[in-house]
Amino acid sequence: MDTIGELFPDAHCELRHSNPFELTIAVLLSAQCTDETVNKVTLDLFAKYKRPEDYLSVPLEELEQDIRRIGLFRNKASNIQKLCQLLLDKFDGQIPEKHEQLVELPGVGRKTANVVVSNAFGVPAIAVDTHVERVSKRLV
């Protein structure tokens, strides 16, 4: 890991967030979308919604409108509300720190979990896009 750190000393998460919960929501929104667009949407989103309860206190249609500029916004809004409910039911409203618990959350796959554990909790992990995986498989 030191070699990667030396090669990319200024590497950091481009998604704006102030805590693990916001990071998880931002990464979930980033699928099929640019970080720039996600950052524009989350500027207002994170001002309006601070906790899982806040996302659950509005109708799904309102949340959909709040993230409408994001691709797949209907599915992502649904996953956000399901994720928030599971956080409250199973994890005391907190983002879990373990990868295997993160991937239990709706809308959170291995890549999202890797981004969250590495950026929010300092666990060494690399998030690899599918197109990078395809290229690396061809090289092997």
Longest dimension (CA), the chain: 49
Does 111 qualify as catalytic in the annotation? yes
Would you state the structure tokens that stand for residue 86, as one six-digit string? 């599971």
Does 10 qualify as catalytic in the annotation? no
Which is the catalytic residue, given 2, 10, 92, 129? 129
The residue assigned the tokens 């929104």 is: 29
Query: Which residue numbers are catalytic?
Result: 111, 129
